[in-house]
Amino acid sequence: MKLIWFNSIDSTQDYIKSHIKELMDDTCVLANVQTKGRGRYGHVWFSSLEEGLYFSILKKNLHIEPFSLVVGVSLFKTIKTLYGIRAFIKWPNDIYVLLEKPRKVAGILVEKIKENTIIGIGVNLNQEDFPQDISDRAISLKLFTGIYISKQHFLTTFFDFFYQDIDYFNSHGFEDFRNIINDNLLYKNKLITANDGKVSGILKEVDKDGSIVIEKDNRLISLNAGEIESMMPKETW
């Protein structure tokens, strides 16, 4: 694996996109700070603090479906192993912890350009505070656990799981990943809404193809992409 480490860049994801032809398979681009970090659905990914971990990986000719869920499991395992905490996977691939309510500690953005897959990962690693508009939804692993972990240590642990999981998927398929996701699924058996209120119901599980199954009026609805939110903000967790 080749690592390119910037102090500051617009977005590690966009760096890979604009240099895709000259970059080798398994290149990882990391930045201490991003000026235009972005998340799924055009959301801004807050990246101005050096204590956060922001990196993207280029994989060429990867044939894994549903890949973003598999990477989510690798990230989940990294966090569980390094911190020994109860963490949750928010479908499709964010990692959350519970402190009074669910708070996001890591997010994944997977983009495909022809035969190339770019996997962008943002982890709230050692930040001590967040901007006010996200401070009730985000938390860093350091704030949650009191444990400081270096970016290098986090990355090496993540890459061990990442490559192990790709190999494991290639020989065993999705089923064991699906079990890990279902055992640690945020909002499982709770009332959720998906895709800006277009769908709502009880979140049952992640299916064999990575879709979520939502129960509504004794009917099962399957959703293979989108964003989900809890409909019970005052819920006790």
- Which CB atom, from 52 or from 201, has the smaller least distance to ligand BTN? 52
Q: How far is the CB of 24 from ligand BTN (least distance, A)?
A: 19
Q: What is the DSSP letter of 188?
A: T
What SS3 class is residue 65? coil
Q: Report if residue 124 touches ligand BTN, rule: CB under 6 A.
A: no
Q: Which of 59, 20, 1, 68 is nearest to 40 (CA)?
A: 68
Between 43 and 216, whose beta carbon lies closer to ligand BTN?
Answer: 43
Among 102, 122, 201, 210, binds ligand BTN (CB under 6 A): 122
Complex with ligand BTN: residue 41 or 167, whichever CB lies closer? 41
Cα 135 → chain centroid: 18
- Coil vs helix vs strand at 183: helix
Whole-number minimum distance, CB 63 to ligand BTN, in Å?
A: 23
Site for ligand BTN, residues 95 to 114, rule: CB under 6 A = 107-109
Of 151, 165, 150, 141, nearest in space to 74 by CA: 165
Sheet holding 101-113, edge to edge: 2-9, 27-34, 53-60, 116-123, 101-113, 94-99, 88-90
Q: Which is nearer to ligand BTN, 35 or 179 (CB)?
A: 35
Does the footprint of ligand BTN cover residue 210 (CB under 6 A)? no
Interface map 7-46 toward ligand BTN (x if CB under 6 A): ----xxx--------------------x--xxxx--x-x-
Nearest to ligand BTN of 37, 210 (CB atom): 37
Do 40 and 118 contact (CB within 8 A), yes or no?
Answer: no
Q: How many CB atoms lie within 10 A of CB 2?
A: 11
Choose among 123, 132, 102: nearest CA to 192: 102
Q: Is 92 in the site for ligand BTN (CB under 6 A)?
A: no
Q: Smallest Cα–Cα separation from 109: which of 64, 75, 60?
A: 75
Of positions 55, 88, 130, 162, contacts ligand BTN by CB under 6 A: 55
Contacting ligand BTN within 166-185 (CB under 6 A): none
Give the binding site for ligand BTN (CB under 6 A).
11-13, 34, 37-40, 43, 45, 54-56, 94, 107-109, 120-122
